[in-house]
């Protein structure tokens, strides 16, 4: 497997990549040798997405290896993820809108044969655009694409194939091992000019040829213009919910989700007497994405079980609320601690769970990493003002809770 599935493997990948995280990264990061070529970037995104390793650990390791100046570009890229997550956290409506758009647009497809054909040709990698068709195969076979490829892919999808960005984002979300509600949705919105008003990304054949080391001819014509998508209204930021604190005196269970599989590496504020995770990740991901996420979750559960000396239980994913209530009752829990989940499906589930558990007299406490707590409120505007918070983030101990 090209991507780490366990924390041990992720830390080993980080160590192996560190010599390249300095000036080499700044110079070469946009080059993509393809699935068989030598990687110019860390390939850590699936691991970071589920927190096999955290942004704090990755950034601290890069700065330790190269100093802040040498690692600046790499650290900034890590912080792009934090920024997108913080930005969406304060505008959950953008996530809800995208989900509704996908349902609406898929229904509309049934009524427009021409559009439907173009959409299916794109997802089958049968557009006749050599790079695009190869990237579709790479995405489906490996669950990953290089950042510059993602930008070009999204641009060709929207401006050359004239397909809606929402459906492209859904295609990525289904397959990407690192699929992240924030980085994916906002990455696509950025390409069509919805994040930076009026600024779109136009894929260029010469750049694709160059950055792919000449693997692609890009003979088929690409769009010459990238007119911004009609602007939508971006809601004003809602400040992130306040941090919750666990009561160390309460009988506590630890619940691990696929959002953060390394909670046990942090100093827990209460000693758990029971440990659980769901039986798997929900939704309708591609089989490879599901297998990888399940493997990472299993690794997190094993590590927590070992560290806490508890026998883990897996709760039925299909009936998560009742399974959780029964688990809490079996262990006479008064409090369940779990990782805070940013906007996305896990947060939606925790939001449903919390009041039901409260009705049973059980507190659901979402622990937030200090990195998120400091960063999210800074993501009110663009990335450039956000960058000012990076030194503060780097000063935090990587294993800190808010
Ligand atoms: C349309 C589009 C969709 C995207 N969807 C996702 C997604 O669902 N999940 C995701 O993690 N990233 C997404 N990205 C960002 C980026 O492409 C990947 O994070 C990056 O390719 C991961 O490769 P790497 O781990 O080798 O990154 P490296 O270059 O080694 O960077 C280290 C880490 O920094 C973060 N990072 C790097 N670049 C970016 C970036 N531009 N935006 C956000 N975070 C970044 C990732 O966590 C990455 O692992 C998307 C970008 C675009 C343009």
Ligand 1 atom nearest residue 17's Cα: 30
Bridge partner residues of 276 (DSSP): 255, 313
Pocket test for ligand 1, best of 26, 53, 78, 147 (most atoms within 8 A of CB): 147
Q: What is the pLDDT of residues 294-343, one digit of tens each?
A: 999 999 999 999 999 999 999 998 899 999 999 999 999 999 999 999 99
Distance 35 CA to ligand 1 centre (A): 16
| 152 labelled ligand-binding | no
- Spell out the domain ranges in the chain: 7-88+386-394, 93-211, 252-367
Whether the Cβ atoms of residue 92 and residue 343 lie closer than 8 Å to each other: yes
Q: What is the pLDDT of residues 86-129, one digit of tens each?
A: 999 999 999 999 999 999 999 998 888 888 999 999 999 999 99
CA distance 369 to 391: 17
The DSSP output letter for 238 is P
Directed axis angle between helix 165-175 and helix 113-124, to 10°?
Answer: 30
Whether the Cβ atoms of residue 147 and residue 41 lie closer than 8 Å to each other: yes
Does the pLDDT value for residue 200 go beyond 90? yes
DSSP H stretches of helix in 90-146: 92-109, 113-124, 130-142
Does the pLDDT value for residue 30 go beyond 90? yes
- Going by alpha carbons, the residue nearest to atom 30 of ligand 1 is 42
Q: What are phi and psi of 388, to 5 degrees?
A: -60, -20
Pocket test for ligand 1, best of 81, 196, 258 (most atoms within 8 A of CB): 81
Output the pLDDT for position 1. 75
| Architecture field, domain 252-367 | 3-Layer(aba) Sandwich (3.40)
Exposed/middle/buried for residue 118 (C-beta within 10 Å: 0-12, 13-18, 19+): middle
Bridge partner residues of 312 (DSSP): 275
133-143 as b/e: b if 16+ CB within 10 A: bbbbebbbebb
3-state SS assignment for residue 300: helix
Q: What is the pLDDT of residues 336-367, one digit of tens each?
A: 999 999 999 999 999 999 999 999 999 999 99
Q: What is the pLDDT of residues 229-259, one digit of tens each?
A: 888 899 999 999 999 999 999 999 999 999 9
| Residue given tokens 């504020």 in the structure block | 269
**Yes or no: domain 93-211 corresponds to CATH 3.40.50.2020:** no
Output the pLDDT for position 279. 83
In angstroms, how far is CA 62 from the centroid of its own chain? 20
**Radius of gyration, CA atoms only, the chain:** 21
Pocket test for ligand 1, best of 2, 187, 211 (most atoms within 8 A of CB): 187
DSSP H stretches of helix in 178-319: 181-191, 205-211, 287-308
Whether the Cβ atoms of residue 127 and residue 133 lie closer than 8 Å to each other: yes
DSSP 310-357: --EEEE-GGGHHHHHHHHHHHTT-SEEEEE---TTHHHHHHHHHHHHH
Distance 180 CA to ligand 1 centre (A): 9
Closest CA to 127 of 200, 222, 210: 222
Output the pLDDT for position 54. 98
Q: What is the CB < 6 Å shell around ligand 1?
A: 29, 41-45, 48-49, 77-78, 80-81, 84, 146-147, 150-151, 154, 172, 176, 178-180, 183-184, 187-188, 191
Distance 48 CA to ligand 1 centre (A): 10
Averaged pLDDT of the chain: 96
């Amino acid at each position: 497997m090209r991507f780490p599935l366990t924390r041990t493997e992720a830390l080993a990948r980080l160590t192996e990549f560190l010599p390249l995280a300095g000036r080499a990264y700044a110079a070469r990061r946009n080059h993509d040798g393809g699935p068989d070529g030598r990687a110019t970037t860390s390939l850590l995104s699936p691991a970071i997405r589920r927190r096999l390793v955290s942004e704090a650990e990755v950034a601290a390791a890069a700065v330790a290896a190269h100093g802040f100046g040498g690692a600046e570009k790499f650290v900034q890229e890590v912080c792009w993820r934090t920024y997108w997550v913080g930005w969406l956290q304060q505008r959950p409506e953008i996530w809800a809108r995208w989900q509704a758009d996908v349902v609406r647009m898929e229904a509309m497809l049934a009524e427009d044969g021409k559009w439907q054909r173009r959409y299916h040709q794109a997802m089958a990698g049968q557009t006749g655009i050599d790079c695009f068709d190869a990237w579709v195969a790479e995405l489906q076979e490996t669950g990953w694409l290089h950042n510059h490829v993602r930008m070009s892919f999204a641009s060709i999808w929207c401006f050359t194939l004239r397909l809606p960005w929402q459906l492209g984002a859904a295609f990525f979300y289904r397959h990407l091992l690192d699929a992240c509600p924030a980085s994916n949705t906002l990455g696509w919105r950025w390409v069509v000019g919805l994040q930076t008003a009026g600024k779109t990304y136009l894929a260029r054949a010469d750049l694709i040829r160059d950055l792919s080391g000449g693997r692609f001819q890009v003979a088929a014509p690409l769009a010459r213009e990238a007119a911004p998508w009609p602007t939508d209204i971006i809601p004003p930021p809602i400040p992130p919910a306040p941090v919750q604190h666990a009561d160390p005196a309460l009988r506590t269970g630890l619940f691990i989700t696929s959002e953060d599989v390394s909670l046990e590496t942090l100093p827990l504020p209460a000693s758990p007497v029971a440990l659980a995770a769901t039986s798997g990740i929900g939704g309708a991901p591609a089989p490879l994405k599901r297998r990888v996420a399940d493997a990472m979750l299993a690794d997190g559960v094993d590590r927590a079980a070992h560290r806490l000396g508890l026998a883990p239980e897996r709760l039925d994913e299909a009936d998560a609320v009742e399974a959780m209530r029964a688990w809490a009752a079996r262990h006479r829990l008064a409090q369940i601690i779990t990782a805070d989940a940013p906007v996305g499906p896990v947060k939606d589930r925790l939001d449903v769970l919390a009041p039901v558990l409260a009705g049973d007299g059980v507190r659901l406490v979402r622990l937030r990493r200090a990195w998120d707590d400091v960063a999210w409120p800074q993501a009110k505007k663009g990335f450039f003002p956000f960058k000012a918070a990076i030194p503060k983030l780097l000063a935090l101990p990587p294993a800190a809770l808010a």
